[in-house]
Structure formats: structure tokens, C-alpha cells
């Protein structure tokens, strides 16, 4: 059997959760069976592009749709026409439909719409637009994937989800890589001068969804109550400069460490004492799985899919609460706790990439044989 040509479609390559999931899965698949491509828009981290190329991906970069929808569509057409992919797996949630429609036009028989988010809709007009986009996704996709329950119901509807038409592709990780390691913890804390500090950690792209403004306000309150606190932020993004300005205005420059996109984020989890993710909306964040694997106490927004609570070290808090309440709850965990208890639970619940990647590999092959050899 020839190699199966698989194209993954993303908004950008910036060490984010979606990029991490794609790499986690494909790194563990049989390279003799697949030829992997990735289509991304033109606002990327160069290091992330190089990382994908290192693992054998052919990277296609097109114009961003925010700059020119016409150029974006025309360049997508060009990539699809030249590539003639067997499987197109799109990860842009509501806007998956148009890349899948173009793929179908050029003969792709397996088009996967993957939902990574569940958006909160407050506007009637936006709600109507979302419903149209959802219908287009369902029409243009042959297969429905989701990272979690709420994300699946959001994009494909409760009826489709409950009937089993949506495949849950767990945000699985290399659990051994993220398991708690005291030696790495001491090394990182020594390097960044945070030994003896209460380290509040966060991993996430600097964008509106991740709610960094609220996070900085929470940390300001934590710092007021415990002057020995430090905030560790891992990520890049379009709002980074705005957040830096807010940190400076609050006089927190000496208490906040920002690490740009990195491919060794697992080491930074070891250095943290607690993990905080106050997102405005979210599907099933891979960082939540990583933090749990690292044995951290986690404090997450209750706008996140509740099934993220895999082990018992997570609290879901309301982002409509004042920051003092978040700070009080987080500070209570400024004590030692056992960080080596999560592994068995995560494995048993399907978050070990070694077993989960094999399931998706088998799925791709089975669907490919069905569509291209039996019809």
C-alpha cells in the first residue's frame, strides 16, 4: 500500500495546544505508512515550523484570512490541487468547512472536521452566524472529531454526539515526559532564581481567549497576600506586548517571568507550585492534561469542559468571581503535596499517547482502505 497523504490544517504554528496535539500523535505513528503535510497561515513561530519539519512534515504557508480572504482561499486551492491528499484533517473548529470543501472538490474522500473549542455565545447575531458555520461543517466533513464532550456537542450538535457520530480524540500526551521530576524542578528553579518562591504557573498563547488580564489581576492579589510569590508565563501571541505593559503598570516586573514559545515546556511544569488557567472559553485544553500529569494543583475556569477533571487535583472556578476569591483559594495550596499520584489514572482514562496514537493510526488506515479500495 502506498503512503497515505494526510494534510493537517491549522490557523498558525506557535507552540499552541493544537500544534502540540498534532505532533504528539504523528510522532508515534508509522512513518512508512503516512506522508504528513500541514497547512498554516502566515503568522507563525519559525522555531515551531522547524520543529514540524524536523518530524517529517511538509509545511505549506498561505496568506492569513484576516489579511485577505480571497488570497487565503486561492492559495488553499493551489495547495489542494497540487497535493491531492487522501485525508484532510482540519483543526480550525468553526472555519474547518471551507478547507474541507476545497479538498473534496479536488478528490479527497476523507475530510475530518475537528472541534477543539466550545464558544460561549452572548450575541444573537453571532449565535446565528455560528449555527450557519456549524451546518456547513457538518455538510463538508465526512468524519467528525472532538477533543472533549462539550466541544463535540458545540460543533456537531448533541444529537450527533450522543448517537456516536463524533469520535473523541483525547488530548493525549507522553506521560513519562511530563511526570514529576524533583531534579528537573530544582534545576529550573535555580536557573530562573525562584528557589524558595511560591510559583504560580500558566501555559497559553497570549490571546483574548486565555484571559491574561484577569490572570494578572489574580496574581496581583496573590502577591499582595504572599510577597514571596512569582508568576511564570509560558507562551507567545498577539497580546504579549499589551500584557507586558499591564504587568509594568502594576509594578510587577520583578515578580513575573515570561518564557516565549518553547519545546521543553514539560520542564517548566516541574518548577511550578500551582497551575492557573482562567480561560473565557475552551474545549479540552492539552495544557490541563500536561499540568495534571506533572502532579500540579490546577485552578481552571469553569468555562472549560468539566471532563478536564481527570484526577482529583483540579478546581473549576467562576471567572465572574472577584480575583480575591481566586487568590484566597490558590494561596491555600502554598504547602507541599504529593505530585506522583496521577499516572495510573491518566493512563486508564486514555491519555497515554503511546496507546491513543495507535487508535488514530488504525482509524486513518481503516477509513482509507474503505474509501479508496472498496468503492
Give the mean pLDDT of 154-173. 96
Give the mean pLDDT of 221-234. 97
Residue 354 predicted with pLDDT over 80 = yes
Alpha carbons 239 and 214: distance in angstroms, whole number: 13
Q: Do the domains at 2-171+351-371 and 173-347 have one common CATH topology?
A: yes
Task: Please give the grid coordinates belonging to residue 228.
Answer: 514571596
Residue 333 predicted with pLDDT over 80 = no
* Residue corresponding to grid cell 496535539: 21
Give the mean pLDDT of 113-137. 90
Q: In what order do the strands lie in the sheet with 166-168?
A: 58-62, 34-41, 4-9, 87-90, 110-115, 143-146, 166-168
* pLDDT recorded at residue 265: 94
pTM to 2 decimal places? 0.89
* pLDDT recorded at residue 335: 66
What is the DSSP track for 195-227?
TTSEEEEEE--SSGGG-HHHHHHHHHHHHHH-T
Q: How confident is the model at residue 324 (pLDDT cuts 50, 70, 90)?
A: very high
> How many other C-beta atoms can be found within 10 angstroms of the C-beta atom of residue 148?
26
* pLDDT recorded at residue 282: 87
18-72 pLDDT, tens digit each: 999 999 999 999 999 999 999 999 888 888 999 999 999 999 999 998 899 999 9
Contact 111, 104 (CB under 8 A): yes
Domain 2-171+351-371 fold: Rossmann fold (3.40.50)
Extents of the domains making up the chain:
2-171+351-371, 173-347
CATH placement of domain 173-347: 3.40.50.2000
173-206 pLDDT, tens digit each: 999 999 999 999 999 999 999 999 999 999 999 9
Contact 87, 368 (CB under 8 A): yes
105-121 pLDDT, tens digit each: 999 999 999 999 888 77
297-313 pLDDT, tens digit each: 999 999 998 899 999 88
* Residue corresponding to grid cell 480575583: 323
> How many other C-beta atoms can be found within 10 angstroms of the C-beta atom of residue 367?
18
Contact 316, 279 (CB under 8 A): no
Q: What is the dihedral of CA 316, 319, 324, 330, to 10 degrees?
A: 30
Residue 340 predicted with pLDDT over 90 = no
* pLDDT recorded at residue 334: 66
- Collapsing DSSP to helix, strand or coil, 312 comes out as coil
Amino acid at each position: 500500500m502506498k503512503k497515505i497523504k494526510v494534510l493537517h490544517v491549522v490557523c498558525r504554528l506557535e507552540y499552541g495546544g493544537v500544534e502540540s496535539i498534532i505532533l504528539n500523535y504523528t510522532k508515534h505513528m508509522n512513518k512508512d505508512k503516512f506522508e504528513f503535510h500541514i497547512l498554516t497561515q502566515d503568522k507563525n513561530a519559525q522555531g515551531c515550523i522547524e520543529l514540524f519539519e524536523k518530524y517529517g512534515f511538509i509545511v505549506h504557508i498561505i496568506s492569513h484570512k484576516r489579511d485577505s480572504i480571497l488570497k487565503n482561499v486561492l492559495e488553499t486551492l493551489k495547495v489542494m490541487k497540487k497535493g491531492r491528499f487522501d485525508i484532510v484533517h482540519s483543526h480550525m473548529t468553526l472555519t474547518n468547512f471551507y478547507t474541507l470543501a476545497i479538498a473534496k472538490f479536488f478528490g479527497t474522500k476523507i475530510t475530518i472536521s475537528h472541534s477543539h473549542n466550545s464558544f460561549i455565545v452572548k450575541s444573537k447575531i453571532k449565535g446565528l452566524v455560528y449555527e450557519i458555520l456549524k451546518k456547513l461543517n457538518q455538510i463538508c466533513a465526512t468524519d467528525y472529531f472532538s477533543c472533549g464532550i462539550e466541544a463535540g456537542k458545540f460543533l456537531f450538535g448533541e444529537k450527533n454526539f450522543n448517537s456516536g457520530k463524533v469520535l473523541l480524540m483525547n488530548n493525549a500526551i507522553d506521560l513519562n515526559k511530563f511526570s514529576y521530576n524533583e531534579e528537573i524542578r530544582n534545576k529550573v528553579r535555580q536557573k530562573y532564581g525562584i528557589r524558595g518562591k511560591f510559583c504560580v504557573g500558566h501555559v497559553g498563547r497570549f490571546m483574548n481567549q486565555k484571559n491574561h488580564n484577569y490572570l494578572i489581576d489574580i496574581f496581583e492579589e496573590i502577591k499582595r497576600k504572599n510577597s514571596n510569590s512569582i508568576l511564570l508565563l509560558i507562551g507567545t501571541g498577539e497580546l504579549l506586548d499589551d500584557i507586558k505593559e499591564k504587568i509594568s503598570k502594576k509594578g510587577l516586573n520583578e515578580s513575573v517571568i515570561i518564557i516565549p514559545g518553547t519545546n521543553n515546556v514539560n520542564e517548566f511544569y516541574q518548577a511550578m507550585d500551582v497551575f492557573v488557567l482562567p480561560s473565557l472559553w475552551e474545549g479540552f485544553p492539552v495544557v490541563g492534561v500536561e499540568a495534571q500529569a506533572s502532579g500540579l494543583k490546577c485552578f481552571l475556569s469553569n468555562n472549560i469542559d468539566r471532563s478536564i477533571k481527570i484526577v482529583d487535583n483540579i478546581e473549576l472556578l467562576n471567572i465572574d468571581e472577584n480575583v480575591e476569591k481566586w487568590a484566597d483559594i490558590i494561596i491555600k495550596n502554598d504547602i507541599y503535596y504529593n505530585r506522583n499520584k496521577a499516572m495510573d489514572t491518566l493512563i486508564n482514562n486514555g491519555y497515554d499517547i503511546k496507546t491513543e496514537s495507535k487508535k488514530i493510526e488504525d482509524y486513518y488506515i481503516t477509513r482509507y482502505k474503505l474509501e479508496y479500495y472498496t468503492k
